[in-house]
Chain A
Amino acid sequence: MNAPLPPTNGGCRTAPVLKERGQREVFCGLTGIIWLHRKMQDAFFLVVGSRTCAHLLQSAAGVMIFAEPRFGTAILEEQDLAGMADAHVELDREVARLLARRPDIRQLFLVGSCPSEVIKIDLARAAERLSQVHAPHVRVLNYSGSGIETTFTEGEDACLASMVPVLKNTTERELLLVGALPDVVEDQMVSLLTDMGIGPIRLLPARRIDDTTAVGENTVFALTQPFLGTTHAELERRGARHLAAPFPFGDEGTTAWLRVIATEFGVSEETFESVTAAPRARARKAIAQAAEALRGKSVFFFPDSQLEIPLARFLTRECGMTAIEVGSPYIHDALHGPDLDLLPAGPQISEGQDVDRQLDRARAARPDLTVCGLGLANPLEAEGLTTKWAIELVFTPVHFYEQAGDLAGLFSRPVRRKSVLHMEAAE
């Protein structure tokens, strides 16, 4: 089986990385709750934090998910800080009240925030205590989504990592697929692999707590998201083996990702071809249509979700774009290496952020398309740049063959929009 060809001018894996520290225009890890609470249908996310945390959660998604969502914030008040109230007693009371009102909740995540970390509320201890109180009906875990420790998508990483130690043990040879995907995409992924005869397949996170996800020394796992570094380490600690691959974005990324797993499970070339040929052809066609507007254009990535490197690989190799700068909040070689190998040399790879300096670079380069956060998009548009809000890439189904055209479309739409708007006089 042929792996994708590395670029003739060399890849970016060994390219020098510009590391910056300064103001970061990114979300904190709490933001992940917005999609995680929809993915795990029996889970509730209780942030122990401040009014700022609650305000972030309702602002970040841009819209309110109003009917009672499965997350909330236990807001710390002055008496909690002054030691007049015992935070643990207060937390136990709020959790008891919540679980009484919502008997459908089977897993509760206590989520640490900047204030709870700074005043050192021991949420691990609280989770242990509350687990004993509410077992066996409810399992209580904890992780930190604080901004002082996590950047945006690292919140999902911290959440999934907190689940690994409590996964059941197994000695079976199983494939574990890791990362929260929209249900429709997850179903496509599982059916592609099942059609190749690969199984049993387990998912992390499972949709419900009762599902049979387990881990052990015979487990091999593949990541579907490029921001799961801590989960990766936790799974290796449990003896599981990582199948490193480019991430399944676009035709080429999806094929390469599937191929690594197929090779591991001894799938024949004929089987692989028969399962992937039709969706591959569809993906190519859809990408070609959407990519017309992108060919020959330049792109600049501000750091946001750690999806930047795989997406830059997709845009350069499959949509004909040139990358000027590819910024990522963090770069992990074990995760991002395969994509960096394929990304044609040329762009500045940067890690971390000093937003004002990076804005200077973007303004100087005048890219045709700038991928950035919501705080920067309109101001850059007002300066005449064309932008794509990065958060949509996390909230929209973009993985695997059937979504490859949509993914290209997310980037081409702002470019096309610019060309269709005409407000001058007709002459």
Chain B
Amino acid sequence: MKLTVWTYEGPPHVGAMRVATAMKGLHYVLHAPQGDTYADLLFTMIERRNHRPPVSYTTFQARDLGADTATLFKKSCQDAVDRFNPEAIIVGASCTAELIQDDPAGLAETMGLSIPVIALELPSYSRKENFGADETFYQIVKALAKPQERTARITCNILGPTALGFRARDDVEELTGLLSEMGIDVNVVAPLNATPTDIARLPAAHFNVLLSPETGEAAARFLEKNHDQPFTKVVPIGVGATRDFMAEVAGITGVSGKIDESRLRLPWWSRSVDSTYLTGKRVFIFGDGTHVAAHARIARDEMGFEVVGIGCYNREMARPIRTLAKEYGVEAFITDDYLEVEAAIERLSPEMILGTQMERHIGKRLGIPCAVISAPVHVQDFPARYSPQVGFEGANVIFDTLIHPLVMGLEEHLLTMFRDDFEFHDAAGPSHHGGHSPKPNEDASGGDISAPKKDEVVPDNIIWLSDAERELKKIPFFVRGKARRNTETFAVEKGLHEISLDTLYEAKAHYAR
């Protein structure tokens, strides 16, 4: 038993819903109690989908438990097939139905339905959403993919994009364009917008592009083993990764790995002098393993940031993220406990967070700007405009995304120079954020009655003298926390019990880079 306040991932049957909802012509019959239908709103509200997810819930109640929930399941199955006329159905149980052990797979098999019935075994009490999506997609591919001739032209499948994925819609479009420029056609994209008939055609492609390992890797491995289709290991997020990806594709197919780069703007935007202020900005990166790995490389090699910590919430990616952390010489945080993530961020006091919606809130609390780079997602993460993450346009989009939360170069200096200006003061936040400027001390929730922010906790044996304290207040808010902690750490190291104006500036010199 573990006390959880917020979770990064839902239960595995929500992962299965992400696959079912992404597809067409497929229906999911879910043995579940009343209330599990809440998951529909993830798709209809957060993603603004204009159709209900293709899911029938058996909706059993307490009074059914003593009676016959198995019959209820069979009726739901039959009703779903009659009403929605799907090409195939997937059947499974949510966490509660798993406990009553009705065996949806066995029940559905005995019904003699004329369409394929794919059974899912998703252990709700040990696994989570990404596993559920990956396993569901794998089971669908395993059941439906048919051995067949390769297409005459060089083609690939794009595997992994699901409903509620982070920018999946635009990533598919960008990637399709990139491949097309390289002279490669896309045979099938799956699960997003694929039908069961499309799944059957997967083996016609020459290879697979694994766009989201979190949700497509099991299927890619299956197709490699059983249908002799190699799959790409590089996810093309960032300039370097996109070039590596093209080289990898060239290696698999023999096509030329070069395409027109005139649309790629990140390298010049990053080299132009305005970006000098980005140099060495300390960033903390947290999210799903794939996006974190990609952003670590972008942050260090393409933006010139300093990566101070990385981590992921999906344990399946623990090993690669640990290896990567070692390579970057930083700590790896593998946890799905947001309080641990928050503690790590407080301790490392980065200047920016690249994270999920959870870290955005942590950043709000600590007064640290945050750019969202990974699921779990919010309605804001489904922009109306085209905003892919992969390929060259993805790199352009990411450049904008990463600098948007920051105070811009000259503005940073002006804030320092005219720190007492009544309009142009630091608490007003970055000027381009208008009415939504972050106010570090604001707590919108009203529900928080936990300990005071770490920022205000001074180590027991240290006293700030008033001139130093006044000087500290003049430092812009986005570096004030760091200055305070650095000075205190410096004082502790030097065995000082009082912080004077001199101590403050000695510490500044000590940490200068």
B280 CB-CB contact with A under 8 Å: no
Stretch at the interface among A23-31, A214-222, A318-326: A23-31
Partner of B51 from A91, A115, A382 at Cβ < 8 Å: A382
Within 8 Å CB of B34, what residues of A?
Answer: 24, 26, 28, 147-148, 151
Stretch at the interface among A51-59, A243-251, A397-405: A51-59
A295 to B289, CA, bound (A): 54
Within 8 Å CB of B128, what residues of A?
Answer: 51
A136 CB-CB contact with B under 8 Å: no
Stretch at the interface among B37-45, B213-221, B504-512: B37-45
A59 near B4 with CB under 8 A, answer no
B95 near A50 with CB under 8 A, answer yes
B361 near A66 with CB under 8 A, answer yes
A118 near B65 with CB under 8 A, answer yes
B99 CB-CB contact with A under 8 Å: yes
A75 to B337, CA, bound (A): 12
Contact A64 to B37, CB < 8 A, known contacts A75-B4, A148-B96: no
Count of chain A residues near B, Cβ 8 A: 72
Report the minimal beta-carbon distance from B445 to chain A, rounded to whole angstroms.
Answer: 4
Residue of B nearest to A149 (CB): B62
Residue of B nearest to A42 (CB): B449
Residue of A nearest to B364 (CB): A66
Contact A64 to B446, CB < 8 A, known contacts A54-B7, A91-B1: no
B38 near A59 with CB under 8 A, answer yes
Interface bits A358-377 vs B (CB < 8 Å: 1, else 0): 00000000000000011111
Within 8 Å CB of A163, what residues of B?
Answer: none
Within 8 Å CB of B49, what residues of A?
Answer: 378-379
A74 near B1 with CB under 8 A, answer yes
A104 CB-CB contact with B under 8 Å: yes
A114 near B44 with CB under 8 A, answer no
B126 near A148 with CB under 8 A, answer no
Report the minimal beta-carbon distance from B372 to chain A, rounded to whole angstroms.
Answer: 13
Stretch at the interface among B52-60, B179-187, B194-202: B52-60
B152 CB-CB contact with A under 8 Å: no
Report the minimal beta-carbon distance from B102 to chain A, rounded to whole angstroms.
Answer: 12
A69 near B447 with CB under 8 A, answer yes
B33 near A22 with CB under 8 A, answer no
A68 near B57 with CB under 8 A, answer no
Within 8 Å CB of B2, what residues of A?
Answer: 74-75, 77, 94
Q: CB within 8 Å of A: which of B1-18?
A: 1-7, 9-11, 13-14
Contact A378 to B38, CB < 8 A, known contacts A77-B1, A85-B1, A148-B33: no
A78 near B445 with CB under 8 A, answer no
B124 CB-CB contact with A under 8 Å: yes
A23 near B35 with CB under 8 A, answer no
A28 to B61, CA, bound (A): 11
Report the minimal beta-carbon distance from A135 to chain B, rounded to whole angstroms.
Answer: 21
A64 to B380, CA, bound (A): 13
Contact-residue size bin, chain B (C-beta under 8 Å from the other chain): 35 or more
A198 CB-CB contact with B under 8 Å: no
Partner of B447 from A37, A80, A81, A382 at Cβ < 8 Å: A37
Report the minimal beta-carbon distance from A426 to chain B, rounded to whole angstroms.
Answer: 22
B450 CB-CB contact with A under 8 Å: yes
A142 CB-CB contact with B under 8 Å: no
A377 to B48, CA, bound (A): 10
Residue of B nearest to A71 (CB): B5
Interface bits B78-107 vs A (CB < 8 Å: 1, else 0): 010001000000000011100110000000
Contact A55 to B7, CB < 8 A, known contacts A67-B365, A147-B35, A148-B65: yes
Q: CB within 8 Å of A: which of B308-323?
A: none
B40 near A74 with CB under 8 A, answer no
Within 8 Å CB of B421, what residues of A?
Answer: none
A87 to B1, CA, bound (A): 8
A117 CB-CB contact with B under 8 Å: yes
Partner of B449 from A24, A94, A102 at Cβ < 8 Å: A102
Within 8 Å CB of B48, what residues of A?
Answer: 378
Report the minimal beta-carbon distance from B313 to chain A, rounded to whole angstroms.
Answer: 13
Partner of B45 from A52, A77, A117, A374 at Cβ < 8 Å: A374
Partner of B125 from A48, A81, A356 at Cβ < 8 Å: A81
A60 near B38 with CB under 8 A, answer yes
A117 near B447 with CB under 8 A, answer no
Report the minimal beta-carbon distance from B282 to chain A, rounded to whole angstroms.
Answer: 23
Residue of A nearest to B125 (CB): A78
Report the minimal beta-carbon distance from B63 to chain A, rounded to whole angstroms.
Answer: 8
Residue of A nearest to B83 (CB): A356
Within 8 Å CB of B260, what residues of A?
Answer: none
Contact A114 to B33, CB < 8 A, known contacts A24-B59, A50-B124, A51-B7: yes
B41 near A374 with CB under 8 A, answer yes
A16 CB-CB contact with B under 8 Å: no
Closest 10 CB pairs of A and B: A28-B35, A147-B35, A375-B40, A67-B448, A382-B50, A66-B361, A67-B445, A114-B96, A374-B41, A90-B1
The 21 sampled A-B contact pairs (Cβ below 8 Å) are A22-B59, A25-B40, A27-B38, A28-B36, A50-B124, A52-B95, A52-B124, A65-B445, A66-B445, A68-B5, A69-B5, A77-B1, A77-B2, A115-B95, A115-B96, A118-B96, A118-B99, A149-B61, A374-B44, A375-B38, A382-B51
- By a beta-carbon cutoff of 8 Å, the part of chain B in contact with chain A is 1-7, 9-11, 13-14, 33-42, 44-45, 48-52, 56-62, 64-65, 76, 79, 83, 94-96, 99-100, 123-126, 128, 357-358, 361-362, 364-365, 443-450
Question: With contacts A67-B448, A94-B2 known, what are 18 further pairs, Cβ within 8 A?
Answer: A23-B59, A50-B11, A50-B96, A52-B13, A54-B6, A54-B7, A60-B41, A64-B358, A65-B445, A72-B4, A90-B1, A94-B3, A147-B35, A148-B61, A374-B40, A376-B44, A378-B49, A379-B49
